[in-house]
Chains A and B, each alone.
Chain A
Amino acid sequence: MSLPLLRKEAREHGAVLAATAAIGGLALYAMLGVAENSGGGRFVGLTRFLLTIGPLVAFVLANRLLVREYTGRTQFFLETLPIGRVRVFATKWLLGCALMLLTAWVAWRVALGYVRRTEVLATADAIGVLGCAAAFCVTIWAFAALAGMLGRYRYLAWAAVIIAALLAMNVAGIPLFDLPVIRLLGQGVQMATALPETSAFVEALVVAVLCAAGAAALALVGSGAMASTLAQRMTARERAFALVALIAVGTISTTLEPKPVQPPFEITRGERYEGRWTRVGVLPAGTLDADAARSLARSIAEDNDALIDALDLSAHPPVFVLAQQGMDRHVMQRAALSTEDGIVLKVAPNAPAENVRMLVAHSLVADATIDRGMKDDRHVLLDGLASYWPLRDDEAGRERWWLRAASIPEPLPADYLTEWARTSERFGECQSLALAFSVFDTLVQRVGRDATMQSMKELFREPKDDVRVLFERRPTATLAASGVDFASLASAASAARAEARERHAAELARRPLLDAAVDWRSTPGRGIEIETTVTGASRYSAYYRLLLPWTTDAGDMPRLDVLGPSAVLPLSPSRGDRVLAVIEVDDEILDCPVRLLAERLRFR
């Protein structure tokens, strides 16, 4: 700090700052009065003051202390004096910061006096509010100083922040007091009942430090040339661009529909079960009566509670299963809701309960890992865990899935475990899930359930939701810690499937021999036609999807149910297009649809 500089600032800006203080005082008086009459919380008036007048004070201070020195070119005079550039900047920044803190303290003190007119509130109980107000003011000042150092672009910086906040509120539906930094003045502070989470302070601190560093860099880098250049007036072209940009953003933001704020998903009827961690609701329909629904709810809750404990997950989402008549029993749909709504599934009343439980387990882990559990190099283990978990104590159930796994023709390519998207596309949902089950059950048999779950806990831990996720351990390294690698696991699972094939030879022999083909032809006037043919089955399902250049996973595909041996797909691709065509039949022995063919066609 430099005392002569402080005295100069006081003389130069004293009158303006006094006027600002007077206006701020009147505004504070008015806001406290309005808040008191409207019966708001204890410090509602204070937070309103800080949110509205606080940024204005910061803006005025930044303009007077920083911007004026550059636009008036008087910093060139300061540079000729024996005072360092760092000291000049530090003096001005700290003076602004101190004045903002003074604003926060005065406003808090006056607001506390207002509160004490009607109730007894100890200073110690309100000191947290002062801390929040101070942190808010410092952060706002740090931003104002950075914007000030941007010189002629400072208005744009402020406009960008205000527009971003408006968009976050009106379009993304984020409440004002959930926005970063403003979180410091949330409801707990307004009522003086609770402080914001530590993360709110950390967030504000990070913003303040980054802004201060940015402002310092602008002031000091290149012998201060950057700030001097930025302080010059906008050119006509820049003014026109800024005006057009603001009008464009303003117009767009007014045309955007605000996202309605909805309460979390809930069912008002149906069977409920409250587990230790998991709340489950099942809506019965058709053959899924109340007893079956209650039993399913209980099973799901037990599965999830045990899985949450085993993997040490912190997310405990509620689960809702809605039975709906008319759906295919092998088709299950998950509603595209936010994670706060939990896991909401729509299934057929006669859907196999174990499949429903598998999908719930899969969704639980996928959500907890922010979908990183579905990365290709570990997806087989997620599918394996999800299919194994509901059957962990069900010997008969596991044997049923071994039968399905045994139906998979061998040999499989060496990398079928680590290129799971390709494997899944080839075998379809039922058999790929059985394949994953066979791998996972083999792993459990080799190293034991506890060791396996320890590896899964490591593999499916909740990832850091930032750049640190890039440094997570790779699945191969995690498995290696348990003495397992994908190659030996694939080989052991293959051997186990061969044994299962022997155990279930009689059942497998009863499966009909089916042959499927897909062909395409191009004829004048009718364009390209894709024809599917199946021999040995009276009905089958054909799935199809036009693959765009960036499509890797086909996802849910349109389905055509075919009676008879052949059908033309309702699709008119052009030359150069790619289409994924899939044929599945219901397998009575395996009790699930089996994929006969999955082919990617390219029309040349």
Chain B
Amino acid sequence: MSDAIRLTDLRVRYGRVRALDGLSLAVSRGEVYGFLGRNGAGKTTTLRVLMGIVGADAGTIELDGQPMKRVSVATKRSIGYVSQEQNFYPWMTPAQLGRFVAAFYPTWDNDEYGRLLRVLDVPPDRRSGVLSGGTRTKLGLALALAPRPPLLLLDEPTSGLDPVARREFNDLVASMAAERGTTVFLSSHLVDEVEGVATRVGIVQAGRMSIEGRVDELRERVRRVRSPVPLEPPPGFTRVRGDVWLADGSLWAAAAWPEGTSVEQLPLEEIFLAFARTDAPPGAAA
């Protein structure tokens, strides 16, 4: 079965700035993929490429097995998208917005939209300009989910939400993915949020993929090694940063360490911190 998303050696430049510098990743169907990276690492550019808002200078894009140079308008009909900022027409109410957006999606489900507004507690008759940031984000999610898209792209959608709203938002996304088999591509720099939702994560740094894999798999492979004596990584091990090393899970078990050496698994946040630094080795993807 083909992947829902496959990006290969994607490159995008904004003038002299390399926003994406050979990014490659693959997301399976029905998967919730956490796309982690620091600010400016290339997360939003990747999502804009996937939405066809920005064209790639080089590399290939495959959506649902279909290779394309740029995501077409027809393909966008099968993608739901929630951006960082919700730039709705401030004079439109959620109901009016729904009618406006519905005209662009043949699969729009008006009942589902109404249900989502109720579930997310979004008032349908208040102008969007007077809604709070959190409510606007939930409105964005409702608009993105109402056409029942097989692919949902989320670009740091919860960065402005309070913890409760964030939990509600993430729960809804997780349940949608489970119920409908929707593929979710969640971009964020909030590691705990991604860890709670994602089945697989990728850490992007300076426009390239640093490491990619299931969360438990990453915790198997990336560990902290503390030793009373100076240690150099043995064959098969790579020093990521400081005392954080990378190796296959089997090597960790087989390795013989000097006396007093401790090897500990890391939370995802520590792994993210190690890989998201600029001096982390790129191309360590699983």
Asked if chains A and B come from one complex, the reply is yes
A→B interface (CB under 8 Å): 3-4, 7-8, 11-12, 72-77, 79-84, 223, 225
Q: Which residues on the A side are within 8 Å of B85 (C-beta)? A: 73, 76
Q: What are 17 A-B pairs with beta-carbon distances under 8 A?
A: A4-B103, A8-B89, A12-B89, A12-B91, A72-B90, A73-B85, A74-B88, A77-B87, A77-B88, A79-B53, A81-B76, A81-B101, A82-B73, A82-B77, A82-B104, A84-B73, A223-B54
**Residue numbers in B under 8 Å from A79 (CB-CB):** 51, 53
- Cβ proximity bits B41-67 to A, threshold 8 Å, 1 near / 0 not: 000000000010111000000000000
Q: Is B237 positioned at the interface, with any CB of A under 8 Å from its CB?
A: no
Closest B residue to A77 by beta carbon equals B87
The list of the 6 closest CB pairs from A to B, nearest first, reads A4-B103, A82-B76, A77-B87, A76-B87, A73-B87, A82-B77
Contact (Cβ within 8 A) B104 A4: yes
Q: With A8-B89, A76-B87 given, can you name 5 additional A-B contacts, CB distance below 8 Å?
A: A11-B96, A75-B87, A77-B89, A79-B53, A82-B74
Instruction: Tell whether B199 is near chain A: CB-to-CB under 8 Å.
Output: no
Are A3 and B55 neighbours in the complex by a CB distance under 8 Å?
Answer: no
Chain A residues within an 8 Å CB radius of B88: 74, 77
Query: SS class of chain B's interface: helix, strand, loop or mixed?
Result: loop
Roughly how many angstroms separate A223 CA and B44 CA in the complex, as a whole number? 15
Least Cβ distance of B138 to chain A in Å?
16
Query: By the criterion CB–CB under 8 Å, are B89 and A81 in contact?
Result: no
- Give the residues in chain A near B77, CB-CB below 8 Å: 82
Question: Does chain A have a CB within 8 A of B252?
Answer: no
Q: Are B89 and A3 in contact (CB under 8 A)?
A: no
**Quick one: which of B23-42 are within 8 Å of A by CB?**
none
Q: Shortest beta-carbon distance, B185 to chain A, in Å?
A: 14
Q: Judge whether B105 is part of the interface by a CB distance below 8 angstroms.
A: yes
Give the CA-CA distance A225 to B45 in the complex, in Å: 13
Residues of A with C-beta under 8 A to B86: 77
Contact A80 B53 (CB under 8 A): yes
Decide yes or no: A80 and B91 within 8 Å by CB, A4-B100, A4-B103, A8-B100 being known contacts: no
Q: How far is the CB of A80 from chain B (nearest CB, A)?
A: 5
> Residues on B close to A: CB < 8 A?
14, 51, 53-55, 73-74, 76-77, 81, 83, 85-91, 96, 100-101, 103-105
Report B153 CB to chain A, min CB distance, Å: 9
A506 to chain B, nearest CB (A): 84
**C-alpha spacing A8/B86, complex, angstroms:** 18
CB-CB under 8 A from A7, the residues of chain B are: 100, 103
* Separation of A488 and B244 alpha carbons in the complex (Å): 91
Selected from B55, B83, B91, B96, the residue in CB contact (under 8 A) with A223 is: B55
A81-B147 Cα distance, complex, nearest whole Å: 12
Q: How far is the CA of A4 from the CA of B100 in the complex (A)?
A: 6
**In the complex, what's the smallest C-beta–C-beta distance from B221 to chain A, in angstroms?**
36
> What is the chain B residue whose CB lies nearest that of A78?
B87
Which chain B residues border A81 with CB–CB below 8 Å?
76, 101, 104
Contacts of B87 in A (CB 8 A): 72-77
**A498–B162 alpha-carbon span in the complex (Å):** 106
Interface centre among A11, A73, A77, A225 (most CB of B within 10 A): A77
Whether the pair A74, B89 counts as a contact (CB closer than 8 A) is yes
Could you tell me the distance in whole angstroms from the C-beta of B140 to the nearest C-beta in chain A?
9
CA distance A83 to B91 in the complex (A): 21
Nearest B residue to A8 via CB reads B100
Contact B105 A80 (CB under 8 A): no
**How far is B14's CA from A80's CA once the two chains are assembled, in angstroms?**
20
Residues of A within 8 A of B55 (CB): 223
A85 nearest in chain B by CB position:
B53
Contact B104 A83 (CB under 8 A): yes
Q: In the complex, which residues of chain A have a beta carbon less than 8 angstroms from the beta carbon of B53?
A: 79-80, 223
Report whether A3 and B81 are in contact in the complex, using a CB–CB cutoff of 8 Å: no
Most buried by A among B14, B77, B96, B100: B100
A80→B51 contact, CB < 8 A: yes
Instruction: Tell me the smallest distance from the CB of B10 to a CB of chain A, in Å.
Output: 15
C-alpha gap A77/B96 in the complex (Å): 14
Residues of B within 8 A of A77 (CB): 86-89
The residues of B that contact A12 with a CB separation of less than 8 Å are 89, 91
Which of chain A's residues have a CB closer than 8 A to the CB of B74? 82
Nearest B-chain residue to A79, judged by Cβ: B53
Point out the residues of chain A lying under 8 angstroms from B83, CB to CB.
76, 80
Chain A hits for B90, CB < 8 A: 72
Per the bound structure, the CA–CA distance linking A455 and B54 in Å amounts to 60
A84 to B91, CA, bound (A): 23
Q: Shortest distance in angstroms between B165's beta carbon and chain A's nearest beta carbon?
A: 21
Chain B residues near A80 (CB, 8 Å)?
51, 53, 81, 83
Q: How far is the CA of A212 from the CA of B88 in the complex (A)?
A: 28
For the complex, what is the distance from the CA of A84 to the CA of B51, rounded to whole Å? 11
